[in-house]
Amino acid sequence: MNTYPAAAPRISGGLLSWPRRAEAWLDSHGRKAWIAAMVLGFIFFWPVGLALVVYMTVTNRWSKDMFGSSCRKSRRAAWSPDWNSRVQQSSGNTAFDAYKAETLRRLEEEQAAFEGFLNRLREAKDKQQFDAFMEERARSPRNDEASPPALNA
């Protein structure tokens, strides 16, 4: 006689393995259940609590359940391609918008100057390495002009 519900997925060894059932139970009871399990894990055996913290972090349960995924979305949105368009939107305060525009212009100029400096630095380093190679090559005897090997008698 089958005691499992008809729609339940089967895994070898039973309806679900006990960790999967525990995960499903905790998910059905929300983030408070996850936090309670983590705290109890730390109280009774600290590696269990630590394992729950790691598991919650790896499976993004902190950002999805606890913070409503707003934290991850805002972090991702800050570096998305349309970030520049959001930066250029007006805040409604003309003095602040002028300050922001001037600051962004200045930062772009500083970035371009710094990138130019890095390029000049790379070119100088490349030139120094090439000059050192050419000097070393000029000092060493050429292989094709070397004297024939001496015969050992």
Residue 151 within a domain: no
Say if 51 falls within a structural domain: yes
**Residue 107 domain-assigned (yes or no):** yes
pLDDT band of residue 118 (cuts 50, 70, 90) is: very high
Q: How confident is the model at residue 82 (pLDDT cuts 50, 70, 90)?
A: low
Whether residue 153 lies inside any domain: the answer is no
Which domain does 103 fall in, by range? 92-139
Indicate whether 64 and 99 sit together in one domain. no
SS3 17: coil
Q: Is the pLDDT of residue 69 over 60?
A: no
Q: Distances in Å between the alpha carbon of 72 and those of 23, 69, 76, 111?
A: 22, 5, 6, 28
Residue type, 144: D
pLDDT at residue number 15:
58
User: Can you tell me the mean pLDDT for 68-95?
Assistant: 59
pLDDT for residue 8 is more than 60: no
Is 4 within a domain?
no
Residue 63 and residue 96 share a domain: no
User: What are the φ/ψ torsions at residue 80 (nearest 5 degrees)?
Assistant: -75, 165
- Number of domains the chain contains: 2
82 inside domain: no
Task: Look at residue 11 and give its three-state secondary structure.
Answer: strand
Residue 85 pLDDT grade (very low, low, confident, very high; cuts 50, 70, 90): low
- 40: alpha, beta or left, given left = phi > 0 and alpha = psi -120 to 50? alpha
